Amino acid sequence: MSYAANLAMTLPELVLGVGAIVLMLVSAWGGPGSTRLVSWASVAILAGAGIALTGPAGNGGPAFDGLYRADAFAAFSKVLIYIATAIAILMAPGFFQRTSGDDLRPEYPVLMLLSAAGMGMMVSATDMLTLYVGLELQSLAAYVLASFMRRDARSAEAGLKYFVLGALASGILLYGISLVYGFSGTTLFDGIAAAYAGQRSMGLLFGLVFVFAGIAFKISAVPFHMWTPDVYEGAPTPVTAFFASAPKVAAMGLAVRVAIEAMGPATDQWRQIVIFAALASIVLGAVAAIGQTNIKRLLAYSSINNVGFALIGLAAGTPAGVAGVMTYMTIYIAMTLGSFLVVLQMRDEDGQPVETIASLSGMSRTRPALAAAMAMFMFSLAGIPPLFGFYAKFAVFDAAVAAGLFPLAAVGIAASTIGAYYYLRVVKTMYFDEPVTAFPRFEGEVLQGGLIAVAAVFISPLGYFAIPLLGGWAMAAAQALF
Amino acid sequence: MIQAIAFYLFAAVVILSGAMTISSRNPVHSVMWLILAFFNAAGLMVLVGAEFIAMLLVIVYVGAVAVLFLFVVMMLDIDFAELRAGVMRYAGIGLAVAVALAAEVIIAVGAWSAGTLDLTRRVAPIDPVVPNIQAIGNLLYSRYVFIFEAAGFVLLVAMIGAIVLTHRERSGVRGQNIARQVNRRPQDSTRNMQPPVGQGVSL
């Protein structure tokens, strides 16, 4: 295959990488004044990378001798990643403008673009080396973003914690990769699958366990979730929204691809790990969230809980299960980004962010539309039927039952009722408690309001009209892996 | 035979010095043990026929990273006067370490010239004709060029991150402006004065 054909398949990453370099030069000469321009240009570049997926980058097949694969699965994940990244870029200026402390600098969107390039590599990787380099590109940018508010001690703490624990997880993952490489003799997913299909040595099994442990950290599945609440609480809210959406999709895509393409013949071995992580995440995410008083910590436990549900689809190990995971992640990022957009509206008279759940009291009377949107996101995250979040849970449980995993589905459904408690507590605070102080409205928030409305419409019962389209894409994406 | 002896020697020293790195109470000693561990790991690489990686290990880790570590260690509050107090007392130990390292180098070279370690089930046999550096270059710039470039992006992110997190605009600093210095003309900066006798000059 010619070099140009290879490059054409990695066009989205090229667009993002070159775009990030150009915008970095713009920001180097333009200074902090160019933030607005760089932000909008970044969104345009993300859109350009999305358009590039319509070409050979969308379904071109293997590139660079099997290091990288451009297929429907990668394209589906990348669309989600680019949308979530663009929204995280768009929600930042309003937050940094009103929060005292550090201003938004143009490096924020540039780092987001580089992170998106890394995430694209993660979901397209069909070689352990591509996987690792993409993961590091994404993570390294995320560490910097977490401590973007340098004068805020909590933000610095979040960045440091994320960095140290992320480095530890990378070490575990690399150790697993080195074991797999040592015992299979290749880093290509095809070759690894062939090694797992043959006689399985102890080393290959150890490698599998370590690789899954490393990935579990990146998707913050229990028992590797400890960093999540602290990092989500400390990081600036737009960055937290980003962490809870795009990198989650990328890490989940990576987990699915490694599990199915590289370790597919060892499904029975990794299924035990995935089932344990799924159930532990669902239960711990639900129980630990009950005592939280900070809305960002609550949403962090909510993301742990939701990752558990998505993993149920992976545990099925079938095309329907993988399609369920992708459907789940699509609906999950709409609900999560919507919730964080509402959290961004929680500010006191001076415009400083407020994060306690108690401050939401009586919001139904002071900001009825916002309260209604938040209530919808909470009901949807809890999986209450008329809303779209129910369909997401239905898709993964359906796949698990079809694969014969009845006990898993039963325990999962039972545990989801624990989760419903804390989601409903937020709704109760907003609708039945006496108002304390109203969150003031600020000028120029049409864009954020519009984004909240779009997310709310998508997860409303109207979202069910999207099922034929969404289900079809998710199935096409899943079929690309089998 | 000599390869096997050399392998066990190097492997044992790597493990021992790794354990000492994390168990010594003095951070300077930790760094020294770490350097010893790197050095012996380089010996292991020589034994399996990867001379280039052995060289990289010595140059990159022992050279650059260890010096960097020493810088970090120096930022910790350590009483160096106390450390230097017993130079003569420890001269014997220092000499012994030097002799041991020299012996290791001799053993490594001897083992290497006797042929590389014969690994069973080697999945990637080494071509005896193509040198290491050429073999790595052939792969790095053709098959793995995509990952190679992506690794460059990782370093770029590290640079941006370091600047974003630490750079501060300080006011009141007189930075050097080379263009202004070069553009300065004699007629702008000098004035011919003819002050009358007994009067000063006002600048």
Tell me the pLDDT of chain B (203 aa) as tens digits.
Answer: 777 888 888 899 999 999 998 898 877 778 888 888 888 898 888 888 788 888 888 888 877 777 777 777 677 766 666 666 667 777 788 788 888 888 888 887 777 777 666 665 565 666 777 888 888 888 888 889 999 999 999 999 999 999 888 887 777 788 888 888 888 888 888 878 888 888 877 76
Answer yes or no: do B44 and B140 share one domain.
no
Please, are residues A183 and A211 in contact by the beta-carbon 8 Å criterion?
A: no
CATH number, residue B21: 1.20.120.1200
Task: Classify residue B201: in a domain, yes or no.
Answer: no
Answer yes or no: do B75 and B136 share one domain.
no
**In the structure encoding, which two tokens stand for residue A121, read together?**
């590599």
Alpha-helical (H) ranges within A91-235 are 92-98, 107-124, 128-146, 153-184, 189-197, 202-218, 227-234
pLDDT at B91: 79
| B142 vs A16: which has the higher pLDDT | A16
Average pLDDT of the segment spanning A422-449: 83
Nearest by CB to residue A24, choosing from B151, B160, B161, is B160
The Cα A190–Cα A311 span in angstroms is 23
Q: Is A442 helix (H, G, I), strand (E, B) or coil?
A: coil
Task: Classify residue B40: in a domain, yes or no.
Answer: yes
Answer yes or no: do B132 and B107 share one domain.
no
Count: domains in chain A: 1
Please, are residues B43 and B27 in contact by the beta-carbon 8 Å criterion?
A: no
Task: Classify residue B161: in a domain, yes or no.
Answer: yes
Any CB–CB contact under 8 A between A140 and chain B?
yes
Task: Classify residue B73: in a domain, yes or no.
Answer: yes
A387-411 pLDDT, tens per residue?
Answer: 888 999 999 999 999 988 888 888 8
Q: In chain B, what residues touch A203 (CB-CB under 8 Å)?
A: none
Nearest by CB to residue B150, choosing from A110, A111, A134, is A134
Residue with tokens 């350590």: B78
Residues in chain B: 203
* C-alpha distance from residue A144 to each of A31, A162, A214, A250, A253 (Å): 19, 10, 20, 18, 23
Residue A112 confidence class, pLDDT cut points 50, 70, 90: very high
Q: Which residues between 71 and 130 in chain A have a beta carbon less than 8 angstroms from any beta carbon of chain B?
A: 105, 107, 110-111, 114, 117-118, 121, 127, 129-130
The Cα B97–Cα A130 span in angstroms is 42
Answer yes or no: do B105 and B138 share one domain.
no
* C-alpha distance from residue A234 to each of A148, A337, A351, A450 (Å): 10, 17, 18, 27
**In the structure encoding, which two tokens stand for residue B7, read together?**
């392998």
pLDDT at A276: 92
Any CB–CB contact under 8 A between A419 and chain B?
no
* C-alpha distance from residue B68 to each of A223, B63, B71 (Å): 35, 9, 5
Task: Classify residue B196: in a domain, yes or no.
Answer: no
Q: Is the ipTM of this complex over 0.95?
A: no
pLDDT at A357: 86
Average pLDDT of the segment spanning A432-443: 79
Answer yes or no: do B84 and B157 share one domain.
no
The Cα A329–Cα A309 span in angstroms is 10
Answer yes or no: do B57 and B9 share one domain.
yes
Please, are residues B35 and B63 in contact by the beta-carbon 8 Å criterion?
A: no
Best to test chain B binding among A144, A183, A192 (most B CBs inside 10 Å): A144
Answer yes or no: do B60 and B17 share one domain.
yes
**pLDDT over threshold 90, residue A109:** yes
Average pLDDT of the segment spanning A240-259: 93
pLDDT at B79: 67
Task: Classify residue B176: in a domain, yes or no.
Answer: no
The Cα A59–Cα A477 span in angstroms is 10
Answer yes or no: do B66 and B145 share one domain.
no
Please, are residues A240 and A147 in contact by the beta-carbon 8 Å criterion?
A: no
The Cα A335–Cα A454 span in angstroms is 11
Q: In chain B, what residues touch A136 (CB-CB under 8 Å)?
A: 154
Average pLDDT of the segment spanning A47-56: 90
In 3D space, the residue among A90, A9, A14, A12 whose CA is nearest the CA of residue A47 turns out to be A12
**To the nearest whole percent, how much of chain A has pLDDT over 70?**
99
**Which residues, including other chains, have CB under 8 Å from residue B28's CB and lie 6 or more apart?**
B70, B73, B78, B83
Nearest residue of B to residue A135 by CA position? B154
Please, are residues A130 and A69 in contact by the beta-carbon 8 Å criterion?
A: no
**Which residues partner with A188 through β-bridges?**
A127
A314-365 pLDDT, tens per residue?
Answer: 998 899 999 999 999 999 999 999 999 999 888 887 778 888 888 888 888 8
- Taking the CA of residue B69 and the nearest CA in chain A, the distance in Å comes to 17
Answer yes or no: do B22 and B80 share one domain.
yes
**Which residues partner with A180 through β-bridges?**
none
Task: Classify residue B195: in a domain, yes or no.
Answer: no
Count: domains in chain B: 2
Q: In chain A, what residues touch B145 (CB-CB under 8 Å)?
A: 64
pLDDT at B122: 60
The Cα A161–Cα A163 span in angstroms is 5
Answer yes or no: do B35 and B99 share one domain.
yes
Residue A448 confidence class, pLDDT cut points 50, 70, 90: confident
Q: Is A65 helix (H, G, I), strand (E, B) or coil?
A: coil
Nearest residue of B to residue A7 by CA position? B146
The H or E element containing residue B73 is helix B66-75
The dihedral sign for the CA sequence A467, A469, A472, A476 = negative
E-strand stretches of B10-74: none
Residue B180: HSE in the Cβ half-sphere, 13 Å Cα cutoff: 5
pLDDT at B123: 58
Q: Is A69 helix (H, G, I), strand (E, B) or coil?
A: strand
* C-alpha distance from residue A181 to each of A127, A185, A262, A476 (Å): 11, 5, 12, 30
Answer yes or no: do B95 and B1 share one domain.
yes
**pLDDT over threshold 90, residue A25:** yes
**pLDDT over threshold 70, residue A202:** yes
- Taking the CA of residue B169 and the nearest CA in chain A, the distance in Å comes to 11
Task: Classify residue B32: in a domain, yes or no.
Answer: yes
A157-167 pLDDT, tens per residue?
Answer: 999 999 999 99
Answer yes or no: do B61 and B99 share one domain.
yes
Residue with tokens 């370690």: B117
Best to test chain A binding among B122, B136, B142, B147 (most A CBs inside 10 Å): B147
Average pLDDT of the segment spanning A218-247: 92
**To the nearest whole percent, how much of chain A has pLDDT over 90?**
51
- Taking the CA of residue A194 and the nearest CA in chain B, the distance in Å comes to 14
Owning domain of residue B132:
127-166
Residue with tokens 């994940």: A77
Are the beta carbons of A111 and B161 separated by less than 8 Å?
yes
Nearest residue of B to residue A68 by CA position? B146
Quick one: three-class SS letters along A86-127?
Answer: HHHHHCHHHHHHHCCCCCCCCHHHHHHHHHHHHHHHHHHECE
Nearest by CB to residue B160, choosing from A107, A133, A134, is A107
pLDDT at A163: 93
Owning domain of residue A98:
3-479
Q: In chain B, what residues touch A235 (CB-CB under 8 Å)?
A: none
